[in-house]
Structure 1
């Protein structure tokens, strides 16, 4: 069976999960441009906590100019010397950058045929890269889609132990305005994913 045929069999729910992972990866990788802000402004949510975070984010995107969100992004993640937040698994789990969590991630990436893009200089354990990796695994962007068990193992090893804490910090960060509901959205999504994976293993 070829990859195209396998992709066609991915459940709609999993496509939506992958889309949300990919969106979080893109919005956290760099400041959103006008096109991404316009796409975000068109998002619709429901009455759930996750849905309400999407609604809030959409409303803010309509009011936000690219130059202001770029300034906010820089204060949060870059700053003079460092930003308000350090969005790396190694830092959240050990208090230092480039530690064992990064080495373990690189081992898993090699085993799955994943590689860092040549023009990317960030350590692979940053939150944006991990969100994009998870989205890619779900839909099989780099080969066959990952099984639920493989997704669960990757999530539990590299995302679950810290991503919720990061998104909570982003939600409440001093410099977060546009990114506050991104934090809420990520926090809610991580809780849903963790519970779904927990249920799938029982």
Structure 2
């Protein structure tokens, strides 16, 4: 991923940081459930050109927008159910423990809960999914970028959380989605997810350089 342009790590409240938080929020929404009508319509009219020509994320983002324009909302809803839903074992698990340990509710989840407690975060009672669901992890990253408590929402916390709880398995998840024969909209989403996380990883690595 040497061509990935690292995100400009600067002040925590600039437009670049807010854009990162918005992307994590978008990923959280799309992995948690099929898009709402409002989000679907926003994707269909989204700008696909990066501010500077040849931006690393431009290609995969354009594919996601194109999939939104090509597929109906009902088709995307059915695809989500086919890949991630159903009775019993889904075709693709969206949980970190599954990809890291091979089973659900294993040590990676326990480690995650310990780290979340240290950040002062816990799962809401109404949320059925365990904390290692990819949507939950993306939502935590959004909070660590855009939250107002700078003792928690800072680059050091972002780096630790991403490297510990997303980086070890995000590529495997994206591979599984892209390889599934029913994947279309979510294949495009996985491609964008992979590219975005590659940029994030490179940015975090530069912090240690």
TM-score normalised by L of structure 1? 0.90
How many Å apart are 1:34 and its aligned residue? 1.6
Aligned residue in 2 for 1:176:
183
Q: Given that residues 96 and 108 in structure 2 are in contact (C-alpha distance below 8 angstroms), is that contact kept between their aligned partners in structure 1? A: yes
Out of 46, 51, 55, which is 2:62 matched to?
A: 55
Q: Retained in 1: the 8 A contact 2:57–2:195?
A: yes
Q: Among 106, 112, 117, which residue is 2:124 paired with? A: 117
The 1-side partners of 2:73 and 2:89 are apart by 21
Report how far residue 136 of structure 1 moved: 1.1
Which residue in 1 is equivalent to 2:100?
93
Contact 2:12 2:145 (C-alpha < 8 Å) held by counterparts: no
**Other-structure match for 1:75:** 82
Between the aligned partners of 1:136 and 1:177, the Cα distance in structure 2 is 29
State the Cα RMSD in Å.
1.6
Deviations along 1:69-103, one digit per CA (max 9) or x if unpaired, are: 11100111013422221111111000000001101
Query: RCO higher in 1 or 2 (8 Å CA, sep ≥ 6)?
Result: 2
| Structure 2: gaps spanning 5 or more residues | 1-10
Question: What's 2:24 paired with?
Answer: 21
Instruction: Tell me, in whole angstroms, the C-alpha distance in 1 between the residues paired with 2:108 and 2:81.
Output: 25
Number of residues of Structure 1 aligned to a counterpart in Structure 2: 194
1:197 to 184, 189, 204: 204
Structure 1 unmatched runs, 5+: 1-7
Q: CA deviation at 1:49?
A: 4.1
Is the CA contact 1:169–1:183 (under 8 Å) kept in the aligned structure 2? no
2:57 aligned counterpart, secondary structure = helix
